[in-house]
A and B are shown apart, each in its own frame.
Chain A
Amino acid sequence: MAKIYSKRTLVNKNLKPKKEVISFLLNYSQALNVVKIDDKSFEIIAN
């Protein structure tokens, strides 16, 4: 039977970002601390 060549659609319902990206975001969120002094905000990233 001949192969059927069909154009792959860009829209894939199961598209997800990489696990590493999610992991990074969660770690970044845990590490980030925002401190407000007067009208200024300071972003501190804890190691």
Chain B
Amino acid sequence: MADLHIPDSLLVKNYVDGNENALSTLIKRHESKIYGFIYSKIADRDISNDIFQDTFIKVIKTLKNNSYNEEGKFLPWVMRISHNLIVDHFRKTKKMPMYRETEEFSIFSIMSDDSLTIESKMICDQVEVDLKKLIQELPDDQKEVLIMRMYQDMSFKEISEITGVSINTALGRMRYALMNLRKIIDKHQIILTN
């Protein structure tokens, strides 16, 4: 084959001068080495094909732009481009890892959607409404402590300071509030949970 005797530098020159066949020869000559190099890093055929394609798109654009300085190092230049694209690929996948589902592995085995369904949300909202109504039935001092503790997230120290009672009194009122709530729920046979 005559092509084997034409050095890369001459093929590059011919291509830049408009000979499209020169590109075909260059690709055929080096495709195994370049693709093999990419695949050895990526280990995925499809992605390796994409990177190979992107590599040569850059090569073509640079050559057509006359921006390539021929120094007899065509293959190292192309390998460098592919290497940089491989690095870009790993940077991108590191930020946004993509999991492909296979028979052995399902992403949903380690990642689940914990958010409530519409039905669960409606039940939750209804329970909240019912609970607030029940709390209104408590004596004022117990209601006050319970609301401060459960809805305003205050510590018993803060509750005692604001209400002007000791911490022990505040704790006692909370305890009675919960006991009385349970009694009200039992008395009216209310079901608050699903």
Given contacts A22-B27, A25-B27, A29-B20, contact A10 B57 (CB under 8 A): no
The reply to whether B64 and A17 form a contact with Cβ atoms under 8 Å apart is no
0/1 string, B29-61, CB within 8 A of A gives 1: 001100110011001000011001100110011
The number of A-B residue pairs with CB atoms under 8 Å apart is: 59
Q: Does B65 contact A (CB under 8 A)?
A: yes
What's the Cα separation between A36 and B61 when bound, in Å? 13
The reply to whether A29 and B31 form a contact with Cβ atoms under 8 Å apart is no
The reply to whether A26 and B36 form a contact with Cβ atoms under 8 Å apart is no
Interface residues of chain B: helix, strand, loop or mixed (majority): helix
The reply to whether A17 and B31 form a contact with Cβ atoms under 8 Å apart is yes
Complex partner residue of A17 from B35, B43, B65, B66, CB under 8 angstroms:
B35
Q: Does A46 contact B (CB under 8 A)?
A: no
Q: Does A43 contact B (CB under 8 A)?
A: yes
Interface residues of chain A: helix, strand, loop or mixed (majority): mixed
0/1 string, A11-47, CB within 8 A of B gives 1: 1111111100110111011101110100001010000
Given contacts A10-B43, A15-B39, A41-B65, contact A29 B32 (CB under 8 A): no
Given contacts A32-B60, A41-B65, contact A22 B40 (CB under 8 A): no
The reply to whether B49 and A18 form a contact with Cβ atoms under 8 Å apart is yes
The reply to whether B32 and A13 form a contact with Cβ atoms under 8 Å apart is yes
Given contacts A11-B36, A11-B40, A13-B32, contact A34 B61 (CB under 8 A): yes
The reply to whether A17 and B52 form a contact with Cβ atoms under 8 Å apart is yes
Q: Does B24 contact A (CB under 8 A)?
A: yes
Q: Does B23 contact A (CB under 8 A)?
A: yes
- In the assembled complex, which residues on chain B have CB atoms less than 8 Å from the CB atom of A36? 65
| A18: min CB distance to chain B, Å | 5
- Residues in chain A within 8 A of chain B (CB atoms): 10-18, 21-22, 24-26, 28-30, 32-34, 36, 41, 43
Extra A-B contacts (15), CB below 8 Å, given A10-B40, A32-B60, A34-B65: A11-B40, A14-B32, A15-B35, A18-B49, A21-B49, A22-B27, A24-B53, A26-B20, A26-B24, A26-B27, A29-B23, A29-B60, A32-B61, A34-B61, A34-B66
